[in-house]
């Protein structure tokens, strides 16, 4: 898998160079104007969201080789949208939903070291829907902080459901908090129906809205720590006497995550049959932080990781542009 990813990344970098990175591209790349990344104008007028207004970049990023149907790339220091494609098109977020689940839990639960017993009734529906699981057992006593790692790293549905019920009393009440936060952030094209991202026709968003969410969540130091972790060890419990290792569903790939002067620091994967392969990542390139969100790539867990290839495809071009500018 590692060699496959490397070969594909090199082929696509060469293709981008041949096409001419600075060429004028199709309308999927922004050419001018101002983009209110952190939320809608109505949300900012309500005073609920800091105004992070982003100026569009010049058309220097080539999206012609993107596997994903929709994508957005943002530089966080000044909020500049470097590239976007179908950024406002309706998508199904799959487990990228859990970014919202995790940040709401962080903001709602006071004691992250509190220990809870995993509710047994949350498991049968998750098993029936073939939800991704972290490996925590019914009735097992687990700390909230461990559940939060379980939500993001292995994308544990049981961790999401348990944290939601502890935080809000029920999953339904927690989903209400998720939708309220989406409105607060100006995510006007988003609606949540559950805490896991399992498919529902009324559970949808856009890559633009997800970028808003990820930028917001990364302001929370604990979230960023979780999001950028490759693995997390859960100390011995009554269900796992030897402890439990939680591994990131992205970093589990045998891949060199360096990109030029930096690296891809964190990420959250997502997949359902309806959503395709989805990915939200954070990268540090030189002294700049970037985020990228892509959705709708063909493939599944058994194919090449096209969503990961897309992340490298975008970040590699940022590095190529820096090199060209440096050498001029």
**Positions marked catalytic:** 95, 98, 155
**73 close to 81: Cβ distance less than 8 angstroms:** yes
**90 close to 204: Cβ distance less than 8 angstroms:** yes
DSSP single-letter state for residue 292? E
Q: How far apart are CA 12 and CA 230, in angstroms?
A: 26
Three-class SS state of 253: coil
Tokens 């591209």, located at residue: 25
Q: How far apart are CA 232 and CA 319, in angstroms?
A: 30
Residue 314 backbone dihedrals phi, psi, to 5 degrees: -75, -50
The encoded tokens of residue 47 equal: 């005073």
143 is in an annotated binding site: no
Question: Got the DSSP string for 153-207?
Answer: SS--HHHHHHHHHHHHSSHHHHHHHHHHHHHHTT-TT-B-S-SS----TT-BB-H
First to last CA, the chain: 37
**111 close to 288: Cβ distance less than 8 angstroms:** no
The encoded tokens of residue 210 equal: 């997800």
Q: Can you state the angle between helices 144-152 and 157-168, rounded to 10 degrees?
A: 130
Residue 83 backbone dihedrals phi, psi, to 5 degrees: -160, 155
Q: What angle do CA 245, 110, 133 make, to 5 degrees?
A: 30
Show binding-site residues: 268
Binding-site residues from annotation for substrate: 268
């Amino acid at each position: 898998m590692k060699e496959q990813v490397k070969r594909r990344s090199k082929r696509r970098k060469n293709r981008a160079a041949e096409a001419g990175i600075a060429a004028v591209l199709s309308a999927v790349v922004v050419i001018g104007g101002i983009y209110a990344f952190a939320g809608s104008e109505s949300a900012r007028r309500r005073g609920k969201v800091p105004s992070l207004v982003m100026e569009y970049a010049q058309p220097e990023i080539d999206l012609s080789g993107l596997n994903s149907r929709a994508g957005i790339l943002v530089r966080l220091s000044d909020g500049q949208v470097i590239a976007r494609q179908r950024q406002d098109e309706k998508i199904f977020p799959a487990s990228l939903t859990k970014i919202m689940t995790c940040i709401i839990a962080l903001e709602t639960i006071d004691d992250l070291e509190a220990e809870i017993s995993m509710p047994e009734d949350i498991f049968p529906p998750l098993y029936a829907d073939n939800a991704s699981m972290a490996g925590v057992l019914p009735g097992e006593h687990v700390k909230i902080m461990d559940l939060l790692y379980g939500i993001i790293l292995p994308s544990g549905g049981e961790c999401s459901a348990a944290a939601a019920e502890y935080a809000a009393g029920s999953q339904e009440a927690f989903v209400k908090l998720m939708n309220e936060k989406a409105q607060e952030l100006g995510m006007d094209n988003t609606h949540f129906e559950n805490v896991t991202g399992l498919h529902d026709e009324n559970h949808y968003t856009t890559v633009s809205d997800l970028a808003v969410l990820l930028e917001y969540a990364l302001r929370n130091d604990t979230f960023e720590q979780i999001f950028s972790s490759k693995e997390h060890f859960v100390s011995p419990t009554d269900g796992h006497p030897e402890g439990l290792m939680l591994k990131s569903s992205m970093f589990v790939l045998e891949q060199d995550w360096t990109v030029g002067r930096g690296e891809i620091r964190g990420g959250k994967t997502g997949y359902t049959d309806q959503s395709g392969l989805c990915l939200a990542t954070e990268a540090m390139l030189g002294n700049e932080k970037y985020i990228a969100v892509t959705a709708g790539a063909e493939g599944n867990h058994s194919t090449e990781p096209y969503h990961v290839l897309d992340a490298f495809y975008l970040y590699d071009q940022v590095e190529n542009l820096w090199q060209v500018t440096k050498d001029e």
